[in-house]
Protein backbone atom coordinates (compact mmCIF):
# COMPACT_ATOMS: atom_id res chain seq x y z
CA UNK A 1 0.00 0.00 0.00
CA UNK A 2 1.45 3.39 -0.94
CA UNK A 3 1.69 6.29 1.50
CA UNK A 4 -1.39 8.11 0.14
CA UNK A 5 -3.58 5.02 0.42
CA UNK A 6 -2.18 4.24 3.87
CA UNK A 7 -3.06 7.74 5.06
CA UNK A 8 -6.56 7.42 3.57
CA UNK A 9 -7.10 4.11 5.38
CA UNK A 10 -6.09 5.67 8.73
CA UNK A 11 -8.74 8.36 8.28
CA UNK A 12 -11.52 5.98 7.30
CA UNK A 13 -14.23 5.41 9.91
CA UNK A 14 -13.54 2.60 12.34
CA UNK A 15 -16.86 2.93 14.17
CA UNK A 16 -20.04 4.95 13.68
CA UNK A 17 -22.12 6.04 16.66
CA UNK A 18 -25.63 4.66 17.03
CA UNK A 19 -28.71 6.06 18.68
CA UNK A 20 -30.56 3.72 21.01
CA UNK A 21 -33.37 3.38 18.47
CA UNK A 22 -31.02 2.54 15.63
CA UNK A 23 -28.90 0.15 17.70
CA UNK A 24 -31.93 -1.73 18.91
CA UNK A 25 -32.87 -2.73 15.38
CA UNK A 26 -29.68 -4.76 14.90
CA UNK A 27 -28.17 -5.35 18.34
CA UNK A 28 -28.98 -6.94 21.66
CA UNK A 29 -27.50 -4.71 24.36
CA UNK A 30 -27.96 -4.48 28.10
CA UNK A 31 -26.77 -2.39 31.04
CA UNK A 32 -26.67 -3.50 34.67
CA UNK A 33 -26.02 -1.26 37.67
CA UNK A 34 -25.88 -1.97 41.37
CA UNK A 35 -27.47 0.85 43.33
CA UNK A 36 -30.28 1.97 45.60
CA UNK A 37 -31.70 4.41 43.04
CA UNK A 38 -35.22 3.40 41.96
CA UNK A 39 -35.41 1.91 38.47
CA UNK A 40 -37.60 4.70 37.10
CA UNK A 41 -35.16 7.37 38.33
CA UNK A 42 -32.18 6.03 36.34
CA UNK A 43 -31.27 7.93 33.20
CA UNK A 44 -29.22 6.78 30.21
CA UNK A 45 -27.35 9.50 28.34
CA UNK A 46 -26.68 8.01 24.91
CA UNK A 47 -23.69 9.75 23.35
CA UNK A 48 -23.55 10.81 19.71
CA UNK A 49 -19.78 10.34 19.79
CA UNK A 50 -17.30 8.85 22.26
CA UNK A 51 -16.40 12.35 23.45
CA UNK A 52 -13.86 12.97 20.70
CA UNK A 53 -14.44 16.72 20.41
CA UNK A 54 -16.57 18.17 23.20
CA UNK A 55 -16.27 17.25 26.88
CA UNK A 56 -19.03 15.36 28.61
CA UNK A 57 -20.89 17.19 31.34
CA UNK A 58 -20.33 15.76 34.79
CA UNK A 59 -22.49 12.70 35.33
CA UNK A 60 -25.33 13.00 37.78
CA UNK A 61 -25.64 10.24 40.41
CA UNK A 62 -28.55 8.61 38.59
CA UNK A 63 -27.03 8.88 35.10
CA UNK A 64 -25.30 6.30 32.92
CA UNK A 65 -23.26 7.49 29.95
CA UNK A 66 -23.57 5.07 27.04
CA UNK A 67 -21.81 4.90 23.68
CA UNK A 68 -23.05 2.39 21.11
CA UNK A 69 -21.37 2.02 17.74
CA UNK A 70 -21.28 -0.08 14.60
CA UNK A 71 -17.79 -1.24 13.62
CA UNK A 72 -16.49 -0.97 10.03
CA UNK A 73 -19.68 0.75 8.88
CA UNK A 74 -20.50 1.23 5.21
CA UNK A 75 -20.39 4.75 3.71
CA UNK A 76 -24.20 4.77 3.42
CA UNK A 77 -24.47 3.83 7.08
CA UNK A 78 -22.12 6.60 8.17
CA UNK A 79 -24.25 9.12 6.32
CA UNK A 80 -26.99 8.55 8.88
CA UNK A 81 -24.71 8.46 11.91
CA UNK A 82 -24.17 11.36 14.27
CA UNK A 83 -20.46 10.70 14.86
CA UNK A 84 -17.63 8.46 13.73
CA UNK A 85 -14.32 7.30 15.17
CA UNK A 86 -11.44 6.89 12.71
CA UNK A 87 -8.64 4.33 12.79
CA UNK A 88 -6.16 7.16 13.24
CA UNK A 89 -8.01 8.64 16.22
CA UNK A 90 -8.40 5.25 17.87
CA UNK A 91 -4.79 4.17 17.37
CA UNK A 92 -3.53 7.46 18.81
CA UNK A 93 -5.06 6.93 22.27
CA UNK A 94 -4.44 3.27 23.17
CA UNK A 95 -1.29 2.32 25.10
CA UNK A 96 1.37 -0.26 24.29
CA UNK A 97 -0.29 -2.96 26.39
CA UNK A 98 -3.54 -2.55 24.48
CA UNK A 99 -1.67 -2.49 21.19
CA UNK A 100 0.07 -5.76 22.11
CA UNK A 101 -3.23 -7.44 23.00
CA UNK A 102 -4.75 -6.09 19.79
CA UNK A 103 -2.01 -7.72 17.72
CA UNK A 104 -2.67 -11.11 19.32
CA UNK A 105 -6.19 -11.38 17.86
CA UNK A 106 -6.15 -13.77 14.91
CA UNK A 107 -9.07 -12.25 13.00
CA UNK A 108 -9.19 -8.69 11.70
CA UNK A 109 -12.84 -8.33 12.79
CA UNK A 110 -11.85 -9.00 16.40
CA UNK A 111 -8.92 -6.59 16.20
CA UNK A 112 -10.94 -3.65 14.97
CA UNK A 113 -13.76 -4.23 17.47
CA UNK A 114 -11.22 -4.36 20.30
CA UNK A 115 -9.60 -1.16 19.05
CA UNK A 116 -12.92 0.67 18.77
CA UNK A 117 -14.10 -0.37 22.25
CA UNK A 118 -10.86 0.46 24.07
CA UNK A 119 -10.37 3.76 22.26
CA UNK A 120 -14.01 4.66 22.88
CA UNK A 121 -13.62 3.90 26.60
CA UNK A 122 -10.52 6.09 26.81
CA UNK A 123 -12.18 8.99 25.01
CA UNK A 124 -15.27 8.79 27.19
CA UNK A 125 -13.37 8.49 30.46
CA UNK A 126 -10.88 11.17 29.47
CA UNK A 127 -13.73 13.61 28.97
CA UNK A 128 -15.30 12.64 32.28
CA UNK A 129 -12.16 13.03 34.39
CA UNK A 130 -10.59 15.90 32.45
CA UNK A 131 -7.47 14.04 31.32
CA UNK A 132 -6.08 13.25 27.86
CA UNK A 133 -7.40 9.91 26.66
CA UNK A 134 -3.92 8.60 25.89
CA UNK A 135 -2.69 9.50 29.40
CA UNK A 136 -5.18 7.32 31.25
CA UNK A 137 -3.80 4.26 33.03
CA UNK A 138 -5.68 1.13 34.04
CA UNK A 139 -5.11 -1.95 36.15
CA UNK A 140 -7.14 -5.16 36.21
CA UNK A 141 -9.29 -6.07 39.18
CA UNK A 142 -8.97 -9.54 40.70
CA UNK A 143 -11.14 -11.04 37.98
CA UNK A 144 -9.90 -8.87 35.14
CA UNK A 145 -12.27 -5.88 34.97
CA UNK A 146 -10.17 -2.80 34.10
CA UNK A 147 -10.07 -0.10 36.78
CA UNK A 148 -9.03 3.49 36.13
CA UNK A 149 -5.89 4.48 38.10
CA UNK A 150 -5.79 7.95 39.66
CA UNK A 151 -9.34 8.72 38.59
CA UNK A 152 -12.34 9.72 40.73
CA UNK A 153 -13.06 6.79 43.07
CA UNK A 154 -16.77 6.85 42.29
CA UNK A 155 -16.42 6.42 38.50
CA UNK A 156 -16.93 2.92 37.17
CA UNK A 157 -17.00 1.86 33.54
CA UNK A 158 -17.53 -1.17 31.36
CA UNK A 159 -16.94 -1.97 27.71
CA UNK A 160 -18.04 -4.67 25.32
CA UNK A 161 -16.90 -5.61 21.83
CA UNK A 162 -18.17 -8.20 19.40
CA UNK A 163 -17.80 -8.53 15.65
CA UNK A 164 -19.64 -5.57 14.19
CA UNK A 165 -20.53 -3.67 17.35
CA UNK A 166 -19.09 -2.08 20.50
CA UNK A 167 -20.47 -0.41 23.61
CA UNK A 168 -19.03 1.60 26.51
CA UNK A 169 -20.85 2.65 29.68
CA UNK A 170 -19.75 4.81 32.62
CA UNK A 171 -21.53 5.72 35.85
CA UNK A 172 -20.98 6.74 39.46
CA UNK A 173 -22.02 3.23 40.56
CA UNK A 174 -20.96 -0.29 39.60
CA UNK A 175 -21.91 -0.68 35.93
CA UNK A 176 -21.71 -3.40 33.33
CA UNK A 177 -22.59 -3.33 29.63
CA UNK A 178 -22.77 -6.03 26.98
CA UNK A 179 -23.60 -5.99 23.27
CA UNK A 180 -24.17 -8.69 20.67
CA UNK A 181 -25.31 -8.45 17.04
CA UNK A 182 -28.73 -10.00 16.51
CA UNK A 183 -28.25 -13.31 14.70
CA UNK A 184 -29.33 -16.94 14.67
CA UNK A 185 -27.67 -19.03 17.39
CA UNK A 186 -26.83 -22.45 15.97
CA UNK A 187 -26.05 -24.31 19.23
CA UNK A 188 -28.63 -22.54 21.34
CA UNK A 189 -29.92 -25.62 23.19
CA UNK A 190 -26.49 -26.79 24.33
CA UNK A 191 -25.36 -23.27 25.25
CA UNK A 192 -28.60 -22.69 27.15
CA UNK A 193 -27.82 -25.63 29.42
CA UNK A 194 -24.75 -23.72 30.60
CA UNK A 195 -26.04 -20.14 30.55
CA UNK A 196 -29.70 -20.32 31.58
CA UNK A 197 -31.45 -21.52 34.71
CA UNK A 198 -34.20 -24.14 34.37
CA UNK A 199 -37.03 -21.60 34.47
CA UNK A 200 -35.28 -19.43 31.87
CA UNK A 201 -34.82 -22.41 29.54
CA UNK A 202 -38.52 -23.15 29.93
CA UNK A 203 -39.38 -19.59 28.90
CA UNK A 204 -37.04 -19.85 25.92
CA UNK A 205 -38.57 -23.14 24.75
CA UNK A 206 -42.05 -21.60 24.83
CA UNK A 207 -41.01 -18.69 22.61
CA UNK A 208 -41.81 -18.82 18.86
CA UNK A 209 -38.96 -20.39 16.91
CA UNK A 210 -38.22 -17.22 14.95
CA UNK A 211 -37.94 -15.27 18.20
CA UNK A 212 -35.77 -17.66 20.22
CA UNK A 213 -32.32 -16.45 19.13
CA UNK A 214 -33.29 -12.86 19.89
CA UNK A 215 -34.58 -13.83 23.33
CA UNK A 216 -31.48 -15.93 24.07
CA UNK A 217 -29.21 -12.98 23.23
CA UNK A 218 -31.27 -10.81 25.55
CA UNK A 219 -30.74 -13.30 28.37
CA UNK A 220 -27.04 -13.50 27.54
CA UNK A 221 -26.40 -9.74 27.49
CA UNK A 222 -28.44 -9.13 30.66
CA UNK A 223 -26.49 -11.76 32.60
CA UNK A 224 -23.10 -10.70 31.27
CA UNK A 225 -23.84 -7.07 32.13
CA UNK A 226 -24.56 -8.09 35.73
CA UNK A 227 -21.38 -10.14 36.00
CA UNK A 228 -19.33 -7.30 34.52
CA UNK A 229 -20.82 -4.78 36.94
CA UNK A 230 -19.96 -7.14 39.81
CA UNK A 231 -16.37 -7.33 38.44
CA UNK A 232 -16.53 -11.11 38.73
CA UNK A 233 -17.10 -12.18 35.14
CA UNK A 234 -17.65 -15.88 34.62
CA UNK A 235 -16.15 -16.71 38.00
CA UNK A 236 -19.88 -16.80 38.80
CA UNK A 237 -21.76 -19.40 36.72
CA UNK A 238 -24.23 -17.45 34.57
CA UNK A 239 -27.04 -19.91 35.24
CA UNK A 240 -26.98 -18.81 38.90
CA UNK A 241 -27.92 -15.25 37.88
CA UNK A 242 -31.63 -15.50 37.16
CA UNK A 243 -33.31 -12.67 35.28
CA UNK A 244 -36.67 -11.71 33.88
CA UNK A 245 -35.93 -10.95 30.23
CA UNK A 246 -39.37 -9.51 29.53
CA UNK A 247 -40.31 -5.95 28.54
CA UNK A 248 -39.12 -4.59 31.92
CA UNK A 249 -36.04 -6.71 32.65
CA UNK A 250 -35.16 -7.42 36.26
CA UNK A 251 -32.81 -9.51 38.36
CA UNK A 252 -34.78 -12.20 40.18
CA UNK A 253 -32.03 -14.07 42.00
CA UNK A 254 -28.24 -13.89 42.37
CA UNK A 255 -25.60 -15.74 44.40
CA UNK A 256 -24.84 -14.23 47.80
CA UNK A 257 -21.50 -12.87 46.56
CA UNK A 258 -23.43 -10.45 44.33
CA UNK A 259 -25.54 -9.10 47.20
CA UNK A 260 -29.31 -8.91 47.08
CA UNK A 261 -31.29 -9.11 43.85
CA UNK A 262 -33.09 -5.95 44.98
CA UNK A 263 -29.84 -3.98 44.60
CA UNK A 264 -29.64 -4.65 40.86
CA UNK A 265 -31.17 -2.63 38.04
CA UNK A 266 -31.30 -3.71 34.40
CA UNK A 267 -31.74 -1.55 31.30
CA UNK A 268 -32.28 -3.00 27.83
CA UNK A 269 -34.24 -1.96 24.75
CA UNK A 270 -37.73 -3.24 24.14
CA UNK A 271 -37.79 -6.43 22.11
CA UNK A 272 -40.42 -7.61 19.71
CA UNK A 273 -41.28 -10.93 18.16
CA UNK A 274 -40.27 -11.47 14.56
Closest CA to 265 of 245, 249, 242: 249
pTM: predicted TM-score of the whole model, two decimal places = 0.91
Report pLDDT for 115: 97
Question: Do β-strands 63-71 and 43-46 pair in parallel, antiparallel, or remain unpaired?
Answer: parallel
Residues 6+ apart with CB under 8 A from 75: none
For residues 180 and 241, give the distance between their C-alpha atoms in angstroms, rounded to a whole number.
Answer: 19
Block mean pLDDT (10 aa), the chain, length 274 = 41 87 94 97 90 63 95 63 82 96 94 96 92 93 86 90 95 97 94 97 95 96 97 93 96 97 96 56
Report pLDDT for 55: 53
Report pLDDT for 1: 44
Report pLDDT for 82: 54
Report pLDDT for 51: 60
Which residue ranges form the domains of the chain, and what is each CATH number?
3-180 (3.90.470.20), 184-267 (no CATH)
Give the SS3 label for residue 36. Answer: coil
Q: What is the DSSP string of 101-119?
A: HHHH-SSHHHHHHHHHHHH
- For the four alpha carbons of 243, 245, 246 and 247, in that order, the dihedral sign comes to positive
Residues 6+ apart with CB under 8 A from 261: 251, 252, 253, 254
Q: Is the CB of residue 23 less than 8 Å from the CB of residue 47?
A: no
Amino acid sequence: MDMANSRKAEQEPLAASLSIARASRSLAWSIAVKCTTPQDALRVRCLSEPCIVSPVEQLKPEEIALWLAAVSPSPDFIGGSAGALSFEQAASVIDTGEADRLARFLHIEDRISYLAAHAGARLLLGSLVGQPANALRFEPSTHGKPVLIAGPPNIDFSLSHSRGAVSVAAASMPVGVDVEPLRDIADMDSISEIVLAAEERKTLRKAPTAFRSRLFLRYWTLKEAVLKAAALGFAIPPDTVIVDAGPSPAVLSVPATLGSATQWRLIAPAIWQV
